[in-house]
Amino acid sequence: MSKDNISHGSKGGETKLAPSEVFDVPDNVLHLDAREMTLLELGFRSWKGRAVRADYVRSRSRVFCLFLVLRHAGAKLGEVLGLDERRHIDLTKAVILLGREGQQREVPLPQSVCRELKGLIDGPMGVGLEGTLFHLDPGYVRRIFYERAEECGLDRKKGAPSVLRRSRAVEMLRNGVPLGVVRRVLGQASTDLSAVYQKWSSGDVKNIVRRMALEENALKSSARNTFIGHIRSINRDGVLADVEFKTAEGFIISSVITLESLYKLGLEPGVSVSATVKAPLVAVRPRKGNYMSARNRVPAIVTSIKQTEVLAEVSGESAGGTQMCALVTAWSIEEESLFEGAEVEFGFKALSVVLHAV
């Protein structure tokens, strides 16, 4: 990854850091960035959804669940193919047990992955697979993974299970997970393999401190929807400014603010920002339903719906873990056919996005 993310504009001779990334990944480390990872997961979902015959649905559901486990656990393909899901996966605790006897490690799984696994294990497709859910031919698995990458327009090699493992390591490191924790998740005895994913620059310490400040600032907000990222572009007219920033997961969020606010916050391309959106200002629609006119749209899976006679709170989670919440009318739940597990888009206008700078 290049150093183009560092701006060398200065005030008083001081170099100004554009903290877009916590660190750089060496060019020889093949991995998927947040956008590519989301693209690949959506590709797997689409491939699974196209199955019609029962045996195809079952086969593709197994491979899709295998992909999710590899993507989120950072496991080796061989580790997962040999698992007995009845003994090595605890859906109640949301953990998976990896590694050989005596050297086993518990790795947390997102609730969204646990829901997919539970649906397959407890559903009709899981009958007869008890203990052998992931017992698939490794050659077949690799071929399917390569094909999904190509279908998404990615380099074929980026579909390899080993690339998913490296990508998970990079993802954790970018999100501030200590190197020792990353090693434990990956089951590495030495720091060497994890360390090659990082290439520290002279400004990294400052970058990390800024990122921590942004996260602390986000936690203090009462808004249910919070994003952290760095500014990509700013367009101005005589009164307003249209600010676009990119989140860690790769979403492009737009906010329209006054020029006075722009200058007061000291915003410019490369500067880190956090943004909040109140739940009543967020709409939610089925991903394959009516077109949403909102400029900002976040694809997600509905994780919960809390409803009264008048209002409903719809919570969701994107493929990369971004949490979303919308407060909508109760009748819209039925009208839009919303339910837990539904594929939706959360949308909100640029004028609803409140920016914060550090």
pLDDT digits (tens, 9 = 90+) for 296-351: 999 999 999 998 888 999 999 998 888 999 999 999 898 888 999 999 999 999 99
- What does pLDDT average to over the chain? 82
Using 50, 70 and 90 to split pLDDT, how confident is the model at 245?
Answer: very high
Helix (H) or strand (E) holding 170: helix 161-174
Instruction: Report the distance separating Cα 241 and Cα 259, nearest Å.
Output: 6
Least confident segment among 33-37, 124-128, 226-230, 354-358: 354-358
Q: Where are the domains of the chain?
A: 26-195, 211-358
Class of domain 211-358: mainly beta
What integer is the mean pLDDT of 134-159?
94
* pLDDT score for 197: 55
Name the β-bridge partners of 108.
Answer: 95
* 32-68: pLDDT as tens digits: 988 899 899 999 999 999 999 999 999 999 999 999 9
Name the β-bridge partners of 276.
Answer: 226, 354
pLDDT at residue 162 greater than cutoff 90: yes
Cβ atoms 329, 282 nearer than 8 A:
no
Cβ atoms 251, 259 nearer than 8 A:
no
- Percent of the chain surpassing pLDDT 70: 82
Using 50, 70 and 90 to split pLDDT, how confident is the model at 204?
Answer: very low
Q: Give me 25's structure tokens.
A: 């990944």
Q: Which residue has the tokens 């967020």?
A: 282
Class of domain 26-195: mainly alpha
More confident residue, 238 or 253: 253
Instruction: Report the distance separating Cα 252 and Cα 275, nearest Å.
Output: 12
What residues contact 337, with CB distance under 8 A and at least 6 apart? 286, 289
Phi, psi angle pair for 335, to nearest 5°: -65, -40
Instruction: Identify the three-state secondary structure at position 51.
Output: coil
Cβ atoms 69, 96 nearer than 8 A:
yes
Instruction: Report the distance separating Cα 171 and Cα 134, nearest Å.
Output: 25
Instruction: Report the distance separating Cα 48 and Cα 325, nearest Å.
Output: 27
Q: 27, 320, 23: which is closest to 179 by C-alpha?
A: 23
- Round to the nearest angstrom and report the end-to-end CA distance of the chain: 25
Cβ atoms 191, 183 nearer than 8 A:
yes
- HEC-encoded secondary structure of 265-299: HCCCCCCEEEEEECHHHCEEEECCCCCCCCCEEEE
Instruction: Identify the three-state secondary structure at position 101.
Output: coil
* pLDDT score for 252: 94
pLDDT at residue 195 greater than cutoff 50: yes
Cβ atoms 173, 182 nearer than 8 A:
yes
pLDDT at residue 3 greater than cutoff 70: no
State the greatest distance between any 2 C-alpha atoms of the chain, in Å, as a whole number.
71
* 183-194: pLDDT as tens digits: 888 887 554 444
